[in-house]
Amino acid sequence: MDEAENARRPIVIAHRGASAYRPEHTLAGYLLAIEQGADYIEPDLVITKDHVLVCRHENEISGTTNVADHPEFTDRRKSKTVDGAEAVGWWVEDFTLAELKTLRARERIPQLRPDNAHYDDTYEIPTFAEALALARQHGKGIYPELKHPTFLRECGVDPVPAFVAAVNEAGGQNAANIMYVQCFEIGAIQALAQMSSIQWSCIQLAAAEGGPWDQRGTSYAEMLAGDGLRRIREYAVGVGVEKSLVIPRDGANNLGAPTDLVARAHAKNLLVHAWTFRPENYFLPNALRIGVTSAQETLRLHGNLDAELRAFYAAGLDGVFSDDSVAAVAART
């Protein structure tokens, strides 16, 4: 494959690691994804009480760690409202890094991924610095997401300067790969884009519904319509979108016709990366499910993810976030 062809090839982003095979956001999961051929590993970043970025899908960790089994942390359980949603649990910003390192990761959706649950209580919670070092060691890219930056900043633990410090302390980006950084909010991404010594490229995330928490008068639909893409291009090199915005599903839960989003984004010189591609029947269109009955266990089985990926690659995507890097790499050939 020549350099020009390689540059056009969609990238495979290991969504939270090899999430179909190991608990999310563990160094073991990131390493397995690298071994499976992913171009990038994707750590979601939240921040500790002592201002260290760690890799968790959410700052509430009762479902992804064994924190409830630690009696010394019983009194840390509390209710918080994050971006308008109330939850009760244990929160990363209430722990120091040393305290978090005493916890172990657990599978987030064991009902669909029981094999992953066999690894429960095995792996530590990694720091962003550890994930970055792993990616650099193996010559791979890293694609972090800043979670809830407004909420965390208001709690006194701002993830933006912590992110900049972590990258600088690691010696900057891996020269072999662009570092992308993504967020559903706007302000954090704009702040990173405006820095004079940029070592990363910014991606604006957008869901099929709702809007950025830090600009509550704006919807993602508005951001992706009309002149919205031009405004995104002023601070970002691409958009990371929910896959239904690229190819929606019909009333029978099957793939419909592609939208014009990719073409419109490309016309504004924006990359389009879509999320999330998962192998289990539960997440696939009905026509691509294999061996499905109404029984719960059949929804755990892996269906025809290859066909779904190929349809989205054909729609012109520049990258995919996938829980199964093996399938995502194979489908783009």
Distance, CA of 128 to CA of 122 (rounded, Å): 19
Query: CB 120: neighbour CB atoms within 10 A?
Result: 15
Contact at 8 Å (CB) between 131 and 27?
Answer: yes
Q: Does the active-site annotation cover 57?
A: yes
| Annotated active-site residue in 25, 57, 148, 273 | 57
Q: Does the active-site annotation cover 51?
A: no
| Annotated active-site residue in 15, 25, 148, 273 | 15
Residues identified as active-site: 15, 57
